[in-house]
Every structure is written in C-alpha cells, then in structure tokens.
A = this chain, B = another copy of it.
Amino acid sequence: MRGDREESLPLAPGAEFDLIRRFYLGGRAEPRPDVLVGAGDDCAVVAGDGIALSSDMSVEGVHFRRDWLSLREIGYRAAAGALSDLAAVAARPIGVLVSLALPSEDAGEGAVELMCGIREVTEQVGGVVLGGDTTRTTGPLVVDVTVVGEAGWPVLRSGARRGDEVWVTGELGGAAAAVRALLRGESPTPAARERFARPVPRVREALWLAERGIPRAMVDLSDGLAGDALHVSTASRVAVLLARELVPVHPAALAAAGEDEDEALRLALGGGEDYELCFTAEMGRVPAHRAEFERETGTRLTCVGRIGGGSGVWWSDPEGRRRPLGFRAYQHFTEDT
C-alpha cells in the first residue's frame, strides 16, 4: 500500500468501497518506514519502539453541533482531540484509524469533507490515515478516531513528585469563550472561534520537552485544567497546587469575562477543549529551556503552580494555604454540567 496509491489501491468495486477509496486517495502518501501496510487490507501494520494508542469518539449533539462548525471543522476537531492524547504521552504520530457512522445525508460529499478535516490535522502533525470503517446510521453523526504513535519513552500521568513545578503550554479558556458565545446565540470573536474550531495538538511541544527529559508527568487539557490536573493528582498520589495569579488566561476568555475575574478563571480552568499540555517538571528544570522552547515552537510556557503532598487540585496562596477551586470539569453522564 505504498507509493502510487491512486492507481493501485486494491479494493473491490462497490459504493462503500468507492467512498473509502476517496477517503484514502485524496492526496499522495509517501512510503514511510513506520507504516508497513497502509489502508486497504484487513489491517494496517505499523512499526515502532512502543506503539501508543488512544480512541476518542465525537457524537453530533453531544460533542459538536452542525450550526456551529462545518463538517470539515468537525472532522478536524475530532481528530485534533484524539491526536492531543498522543502529545500527552509524548508520542510521535504515525496515523489514525477513522470510524464514521454517517446519516444518509452525509454519506457522499459530507463524508469527504469530514475526512478532509481529519486528514488536514493528521498530516499537520506528521501522521497518515491508516484505515477505519464507514457505516450508515439512523441517528446522529458519530466520528471515532483512534490515534497511533510511537512512544519509546511515554510520559505518563503518574510521574509527578512533591516539589515539582506545574507548567502549561499556551493560554487557556479560548475554546470555552467561543462555546459560551455560541450557547448565547452570539458570534465568538475570530480568535476564540479559531481556538474552538481548529485546536492545534501540541505534538511538537511535547516531543521538544520529552527529548530533553523535562516532563515527569503530563496530560492534555481536554476537560479543562481543573479536571485534567486531577488525573495527575490521582495517578501520582499527590496534590496539585495552582496559583490563581499565574494561570495564563487566553485574551478571548478575558474579553468574554469582562471585569469578572472568577468567570475568566472558570473559562480557563473548567472549560476544556483547549488541548494544551499540562506537565510537571523538577523544580528549576524548565526556566533554562523556556526561551528556546517559546522561540522554536511559538508556544508560551507558564508555571502555574507546584506539586504538594496529599491529593486533589487546589488554589494555593503565597502563604501556602489551600482553597477549593470551585470549578468542575466537563463530564458526560452528569446532569448538572
């Protein structure tokens, strides 16, 4: 399945196969040593030191709305969210498998638009479409993306130690500001909309840091810092202590919140879908690298707190007193979020 695939993809004729063929053949895939068998056989086969895998399912009406995003953006976001999980363990993307449950109105051009968005972000981070499945559905559109990467030295959630500093990439709350505007029937600012519709998985940033052995524990911010830091706390059996004044709130969230500082922090910590990274590093390890990191990646790096004993995620004031965050992360199956 390498090289000149447009000519040679060996699938039998038929309407479903025509659709699949269009998905995988819209562009040229160069042969690459980590893809031994590409799309088109019963399985793809990849190679690498340790293969990182994660799945992320998006459902119309739950994770996205058609009146908020184009199908191409829906595909882009679904894949970006899944690829962000590769960044979270510092894995180099190899590719994605994409399963689509398509309402009949999307079975033609709509599916191709979706796949264009998925391919765009996948190729942006160095991956290819490895395969997947398509089916029709009588219900909402469902996009399930399984990401595949190489992680010789995965950075897990469990590596945080007391005394570590807690760092985040980028700025938080931009996507939440867009969602807030959309829910109110308003137009988000272009900057907020871009953060929501086209989040960039922080793959380059994660690899940069991991190559230098900097992160001890890492997680991506899909549910918001409040919720995702709790994963680090639970996995590492430590407390995450955040400093209110250090949180890098995205300008769009500041603008949306106006004078209300609590609301700005709620967007930044509780909003989710920023797909930035949060990692812990030995005290004093990051500052020597920070300027170079920001210059090479174009992404800001901010210390937002430190790791302490105990459990949970807390505000910590300069005197070291812990206070409740007052935010909850987004969760499915709960009624009041």
Q: Does A299 contact B (CB under 8 A)?
A: no
**Contact across chains for A16 and B55 when beta carbons are under 8 A apart:** no
Q: Does A231 contact B (CB under 8 A)?
A: yes
Rounded to whole angstroms, the CA-CA distance of A63 and B134 in the bound complex is 12
**Contact across chains for A44 and B37 when beta carbons are under 8 A apart:** no
Chain A interface main SS type: mixed
Max chain B CB contacts within 10 Å: which of A17, A40, A52, A332?
A332
Q: Are A52 and B63 also in contact (CB < 8 A) when A16-B331, A137-B139 are? A: no
Q: How many copies of this chain are found per oligomer?
A: 2
**Contact across chains for B51 and A15 when beta carbons are under 8 A apart:** no
Residues of A53-71 at the interface with B, using a CB-CB cut-off of 8 Å, are: 53-59, 61-63
Chain B hits for A19, CB < 8 A: 333
**Contact across chains for B45 and A47 when beta carbons are under 8 A apart:** no
**Contact across chains for B333 and A15 when beta carbons are under 8 A apart:** yes
The distance from the CB of A238 to the nearest CB of chain B, in whole angstroms, is 11
Q: Does A173 contact B (CB under 8 A)?
A: no
Q: Which of B16, B48, B57 contacts A144 (CB 8 A)?
A: B57
Rounded to whole angstroms, the CA-CA distance of A230 and B14 in the bound complex is 11
Residues of A270-293 at the interface with B, using a CB-CB cut-off of 8 Å, are: none
